[in-house]
Amino acid sequence: MTSLTGLQEALKQPVAPVPAEDTGFAAAFIAESIAILEQVDVAAIERMALGLARVRELGGRLFILGVGGSAGHAGHAVNDFRKLCDFEAYAPTDNVSELTARANDEGWDTCFAGWLQGSRISPRDGVLVFSVGGGSREKNVSVNIVRALETASAAGAHIFGIVGANGGFTRQVSEECIAIPALAPDRITPHTEGLCAVLWHLLVSHPVLQRAASKWESIR
């Protein structure tokens, strides 16, 4: 067994440089990311920023939906929309007790829809979806997102999405949707989820939405 002293000494040793021939995957992944971003519809981003700003100015709330890694994005984005944009925002996945109670008692497919109904979603409100596939009833994928968007649509709420290239049900019903091109078929999920974070950070930094400086930019 390695002693603590031996481990500490080992950590002090310089890290050997990585040979150029071993950087292929990292270089390819970054190149793919750049190529994908260059094909994103920037006009759609501007329209989404304006649409979200209109929801806020009319006194609406923003409900952010995501499953899996996108649920993590949703919670983070709620923080930034509230803190930086003065936008009342919520994510059902942040309320683990209610989410799991609804999934356990009524079913996973309706857990988001029930949450929106319980929140009295209205025509003033907005729903923002983060999803690789966008939801598909036919393929039985992210049906909870499909049911939630049906509920939002029936209530007259404004629907927005940041999704993978196909976009699924989210793309069909959104008033504005940003599609992340699938230029690397073997890495659709990591690129979609990774660049989704880039795009919603763009939105909370957009001058039509941001009202407060983020911490490090305010330190001089």
pLDDT tens column, 176-212? 999 999 999 999 999 999 999 999 999 999 999 999 9
pLDDT at 20 over 80: no
3 state SS of 128: strand
pLDDT for the residue 21: 64
CATH of 26-212, one of 3.30.9.10, 3.40.50.2020, 3.40.50.10490, 3.20.20.70: 3.40.50.10490
- Which DSSP helix (H) or strand (E) runs through 65? strand 62-66
pLDDT at position 111 = 97
CB atoms within 10 A of CB 105: 10
Across 161-167, average pLDDT: 94
Pure H helices in the chain: 4-12, 24-39, 42-57, 69-85, 96-105, 111-118, 143-155, 168-173, 188-205
Task: Provide the greatest CA pair distance for the chain.
Answer: 65
For 69-84, write each residue's pLDDT tens digit. Answer: 999 999 999 999 999 9
